[in-house]
Amino acid sequence: MIAKGELSFLNPPETLPFVAKAVFQAAVEAQAQYEPSYYPGKVDFLMCGYHKFVPNAHSWVWRKWVGAHEEASLPIESHSEPKRAHDVASWVFDRLQRATSPPARSAYQAAIVSG
């Protein structure tokens, strides 16, 4: 059952199989109990919307919850689907390469151990 009464209106559709209902209810309960906490590492945020992005629009939120952050937006040229998918994949791949390089990995491990 749901831990907090204010979310009790979230019930799974009756047409779902029993197992899917159980997963749905577990997700609702997990969300109700979730309490965000500070993350000492770095977060990379990519705005993929079809609207104009204001650089660093989310900075005030990130400063409270993460040790460091980087915000980026897809260029306007990325609005065709093949180009968009390529640009997002390139952005993610670049960050994966950075995160798995030896200096980045040791800094990440140090942040996790100290946090």
- 0.85 cut: is pTM over it? no
pLDDT score, position 2: 41
Residue 67 near residue 40, CB atoms below 8 Å: yes
Asked whether residue 110 falls in the same domain as residue 85, the answer is yes
Kindly state whether residues 28 and 68 are assigned to the same domain: no
Residues 62 and 8 in one domain: no
Q: What is the CA radius of gyration of the chain?
A: 19
Is the same domain home to 11 and 51?
no
Whether 16 and 30 map to the same domain: the answer is yes
* Domain span holding position 4: 1-35
Within this chain, do residues 62 and 96 fall inside the same structural domain, yes or no? yes
Do 25 and 80 share a domain, yes or no? no
pLDDT of residue 46: 83
Q: What is the pLDDT of residue 99?
A: 81
- Based on the structure, what is the number of domains in the chain? 2
Per-residue pLDDT of the chain (115 residues; tens, 9 = 90+): 444 444 455 777 788 899 988 998 898 889 889 888 899 988 888 877 655 656 666 777 788 889 888 888 777 666 677 788 888 899 899 988 888 887 755 665 666 666 5
Q: Do 28 and 45 fall into the same domain? A: no
Q: Are 27 and 63 in a shared domain?
A: no
pLDDT of residue 12: 77
Distance between CA atoms of residues 38 and 67, nearest Å: 8
pLDDT at 19: 92
For residue 4, the model assigns a pLDDT of 46
Report DSSP letters for the chain, one per residue.
--SSGGGTT----TTS-HHHHHHHHHHHHHHHH-----EEEEEEEEE--SS---TTTTHHHHHHHEEEEEEEE--GGGGSHHHHHHHHHHHHHHHHHHHHSHHHHHHHHHHHHH-
Buried b (16+ CB within 10 A) or exposed e, 16-36: eeeeeeeeeeeebbeeeeeee
